[in-house]
């Protein structure tokens, strides 16, 4: 495993993936859309799964191990491609900066991982 990649993964994990999960913002988002989009009930769980996939994949690199192929295949898509039922949220995420920032941080790391698969 390339030492520079391991160093970059470690830096990314520490600087980008070590923020508290935005539960308050997620609760607010879900409350806003629960009447018009019942699928929002699963958003926190799905977003958490996406974040866990990225963070877990990053830890493989940090430990000098290859990301398992089945896991790597899930990294090729961004959140809204993987979870297309939430695309209605894209235009309003700017109103939820804690969620938007968290999503951008994980997306940055996801792209870095995909570039090095």
Per-residue pLDDT of the chain (117 residues; tens, 9 = 90+): 688 989 999 999 999 999 999 999 999 999 999 999 999 999 999 999 999 999 999 999 999 999 999 999 999 999 999 999 999 999 999 999 999 999 999 999 999 999 988
Residue-level pLDDT at 1: 63
**Overall pTM > 0.75:** yes
- HEC letters along the chain: CCHHHHHHHHHHHHHHCCCCCCHHHHHHHHHHHCCCCHHHHHHHHHHHHHHHHHHHHHHHHHCCCCCCHHHHHHHCCCHHHHCHHHHHHHHHHHHCHHHHHHHHHHHHHHHHHHHCC
């Amino acid at each position: 495993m390339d030492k520079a990649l391991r160093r970059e993964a470690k830096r990314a994990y520490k600087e980008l993936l070590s923020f508290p999960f935005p539960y308050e913002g997620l609760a607010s988002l879900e409350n806003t859309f629960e009447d018009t989009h019942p699928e929002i009930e699963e958003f926190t769980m799905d977003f958490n799964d996406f974040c866990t996939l990225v963070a877990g994949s990053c830890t493989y690199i940090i430990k000098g191990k290859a990301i398992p192929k089945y896991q790597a295949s899930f990294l090729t898509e961004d959140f809204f491609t993987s979870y297309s039922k939430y695309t209605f949220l894209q235009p309003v995420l700017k109103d939820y900066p804690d969620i938007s920032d968290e999503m951008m941080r994980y997306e940055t790391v996801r792209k870095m991982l995909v570039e090095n698969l």
